[in-house]
Chain A
Amino acid sequence: MRVVIAEDLALLRDGITRLLRDNDIEVVAAVGDGEALVREVVARRPDLAVVDIRLPPDFHDEGLRAALAVRRHAPGTAVLVISQYVEPTYAEELLADRGGGVGYLLKDRVMHVADFLEAVRRVADGGTALDPEVVAQLFARRRQNDPLDRLTPREHEVLGLMAEGRSNAGIAEALVLTVGAVEKHVQSILSKLDLPQSATDHRRVLAVLAYLQA
C-alpha cells in the first residue's frame, strides 16, 4: 500500500511515517500543507492520503478542503482525515460524494496501533472509518419517540460499530462474539429501524448515518 501524509507538525508527521513504515506500508511522500498534498497525490497516485485537518496557511479546515480536492483531482484515492477534534458536519462533508474510501478519526486513535492500522487498511480498500466520537455525537441527538430506544444495549453497540464502518467480522472481533451472532443483531437492527439491506459495508454506513442524521 502506498500512502501520502499531510501534517504540518514535524513531530507527528515523522511519528506517523515511522508507524506506517514499521508496518510495511510505503509512505511515498510526507508534506506540510494542503497544496503540496494535492500536488504529490496527482504526481504519485498513492492508494491513500492521510491528512491533518488543520494545516497552514490559516490553520482552519484547509486539510479537509485539501482532502476533498484530492477526491476531485485524483478520483479513487482514499482519504483518511485526522484531527484533534471531530465535528459531525465535517464527516458529512467527507462522505458527501458517497464514493467510499473515507476515514475521519481523532489523532488519539493512532495510539491504538492495531486498530489504527486496521482502519487505514479498511479505508484504503474502499471502506469507511468514522471515529467513535462522531458516532457518539450523532447518537446524542434525541428524537421524539426515538426508535433507537427500541434497540437492546447490545444492538446499540453493534449499531455504533456499524456507523464507524466496521464489517461484521470486525464487529464480532471488537465485541468478542461470533460472526453469526453479529449477523443476527444486524438483521434485528435493520428491521427495527426499517433500514434496507446493503451490499457493501460502505453503503451500510451511509444508510446508518443518513438515519442518525435524519
Chain B
Amino acid sequence: MDALTRRLLDIVTYRRLAFLLSAMPLGLVWFVALVTVWSLCVGLVVTPLVIPVAIGLALMTRGFAAVEAELARSLLEVPAAAPAPPPGGGRFWARMRAQFGLGFWRAQGYLMLRWFLGFPVAIIFLSLLASAVGTIFAPVWVPFLHGGAHLGFWRPHTFLQCLAIVPLGLILLPATLLMVNPVARMFGLIASAMLPPGTHPRPFPSSQQVGWPAGESPGVGSRPSRVPPRRALRAHALFDGSLLLVLVLIWAVSPGGYFWPVWVALPLGLVLGIHAWFVLMDEQDLALRVHGNAALTGSVGVTGAISLFLICVWAISGHGYFWPIWPMLGLAMVLAAIAAAGMLGTPGRTELTERIETLESSRAGAVDLQDSELRRIERDLHDGAQARLVALGMSLGMAEQKLSSEPERVGELLAEARAGAEHALRELRDLARGIHPPVLADRGLEAALASLVSSTPMPVELTVNLHRRPAPAVETAAYFVAAEALTNAAKHAGAGRVQIRIEERTECLLVTVHDDGRGGADSEGNGLRGMRSRVEALDGTLALSSPPGGPTTIRAELPCES
C-alpha cells in the first residue's frame, strides 16, 4: 500500500499524464498542419512549386519532431531527438534526398501517431479523470442538478445517495492514475524508437536516476540508446489491440447498431502498418536492397499503407465512385519523384553518413582507450618492475663490493635482491593479466571467467551459454566487461550477490552482469567509459541501469562477426 501511495504521489506519474494529455492540442495541430501541407504537395506534384512546399514540409516535420522529442525527453525521460538536419553541401538533388531520409519518415509516422493514437488515449484519460473527480465531489454538486446524475442503472439525486457513490470515484481515480504508467511506457518506447537519438550522445535528464525501474527497460541506459525496435512494435500492436477491444466492448454494451469502432481501427491500422514497415526495413536492411535508397523504401511502405487505408475507407463508406484513385495517383507521382531523385543522388547517402559518424566516434573511443591503456602500462612498468630491477641491481652491486670487506653483510643484501626480484615478477604478472589473461587465450571465456569468479570474495553465479568460441577480440571484450563489472560490484556497490550471464544470440554475444549492490553507478566514470569504448570499438552497445539503491545491471551486446 505504501508503494502504491508513493507511486500515486510521485511527480513522475503526473509528468507522464501531462505527456499523454498533451496529445490533444499537439496531435490536433500536427495532424491539421501535416495533412494540409501533404495535400498541397500532392496537388502541386506536377508543378515545380512542389519543391519549396516539400522543403517546407521537411522543415516543419523536423520542427514538430523537435518539440515532441523535447517533451518525450523531459516528461517521459526516454532518449529521443528530432531527425538530424542533412549535412550541408553536395548537389541539390542529393540534399533534397537527404531531407527525406529515414529520420523524416520516422518523425512523420510519430507525429501522425500522436494524433491517431495519442488523441483517443488522451480523451479516454481525460474522461476517466473527469468522471472520477466528478463522482468524488458528487455530494457537493449533484443535489443541485435538475434530475440528478445518470449512472445508467441508477439515478442518485439526494445528498446521501450521492455520498454512496463517492467510493466509486475514490477507486476510479487511483485506478486511472495507475494506468498512466504502463501507457506512458508504451509511448516512451515508441518515442525512442521513432525519434532515435542517433549517434550523437546528447544529455537528457538522468534517466537512470528517475527513469524506469531496473530490468523493465534495459535499452534505456546511461547513454541514449535505442529501445529494441521489435519490442516497441509489439507494445504498439498490443496497445492498439487492447484499445480496439475496449471500444468493441463499449459498442457491444451500448445500444448503437452502427459498428463505429471500425473508424478507429482503420487509422490505428494505418499507423501500425507504417511502423511495422520501418521496423522491417531496419531489421532486414530493406533499404540496401532498393538501391540503398531509404527514402524510396520508406515511402513505398507509407504509400502502400495510405492507399490501402483509402481503399478500405472507400469500401466501408458504401463503394460508389472510386475517389481514392486521385490521391493514389498523387502518391504514385511523389513516389516517382523520390525514385528519380534517388537515381540522381548517391545511393544511401544519409544512412552511410550516419554509419560513418557512428564508426568515427567508436573508432575515436577505441584509439583513446588504446592510448590510455598504453600509458597505464608504461606508467606501471616505469614505477614498478623497472624501479625494482634498478634496486635489485644496486643490491647486487653492493653485495659484490662488500664481498671482500664485509662478507657477513653479503647474505643480507642477496636476500634483499631476491625479494626485489620476486616483487618485480609479481607486478609483471599482474600487469600481464590485466593486458590479456593467459587462461583466456588458453582455454576460452568460460574457463577465464570461472577462474576470475573463483578468486572473487563473494558469491557469483556464472552462466555461460556458448556453442562455439567467439572471435578473440569479442572474447576479450566480453571478459573485461564482466571483470570490470565484477570489480565495481565488489568495490563500489558493496554487492552481496552477482550474476554473470554470457549468452550466444544469432548475431551477437550478450553479456549481462547483475548485482544487488547500492547502485548509482557513474556512467561517466573511468571504468564504465573504458568498458563502453571496448564494446563500441567492436560496434557493440552497452546499456547500464543503476538507480540509487540498486540493483545494477550492465548489458553488453557484442556483434559476433567482428
Using CB atoms and an 8 Å cutoff, list the residues of chain A in contact with chain B: 54, 60-61, 84-85, 87-89, 106-108, 111-112, 137-138, 140-142, 144
Contacts and interface: CB of A to CB of B under 8 A. Distances in A.
A54 B443 CA distance: 13
B451 A108 contact: no
Contacts of A137: 454-455
A108 B425 contact: yes
Interface stretch (B143-151, B221-229, B432-440): B432-440
Given A137-B455, A141-B455, A142-B459, A87 B439 contact: yes
Size class of the B contact interface (CB-based, 8 Å): 20 to 34
A140 B422 contact: no
B426 interface: yes
A144 B497 CA distance: 11
- 8 tightest A-B CB contacts, nearest first: A61-B442, A60-B442, A140-B455, A137-B455, A108-B425, A87-B439, A111-B418, A141-B454
14 contacts: A60-B442, A61-B443, A85-B429, A85-B432, A85-B433, A87-B439, A89-B439, A89-B447, A106-B425, A107-B425, A108-B421, A108-B426, A140-B454, A140-B455
A163 to B, nearest CB: 14
A85 B438 CA distance: 8
A41 to B, nearest CB: 22
A112 B426 CA distance: 15
Contact of A142 (B433, B451, B458): B458
A89 B425 contact: no
Question: Interface on chain B toward A: helix, strand, loop, or mixed SS?
Answer: helix
B450 interface: yes
B455 A108 contact: no
Contacts of A140: 454-457
Given A108-B422, A141-B455, 14 more contacts: A84-B425, A85-B429, A85-B433, A85-B439, A89-B439, A89-B443, A106-B425, A137-B454, A140-B456, A140-B457, A141-B456, A142-B458, A142-B459, A144-B459
A85 B442 CA distance: 12
A2 to B, nearest CB: 28
Contacts of A138: 454
Most buried by B among A61, A87, A108: A87
B432 A84 contact: yes
B441 A60 contact: yes
Contacts of B443: 61, 89
B450 A89 contact: yes
Interface string B448-464: 00110011111100000
B475 to A, nearest CB: 14
Contacts of A107: 425
A77 B485 CA distance: 44
Contacts of B432: 84-85
Contacts of A60: 441-442
Interface in B452-485: 454-459
A138 B455 CA distance: 7
A142 B432 CA distance: 26
B452 to A, nearest CB: 10
A111 B459 contact: no
Contacts of A106: 425
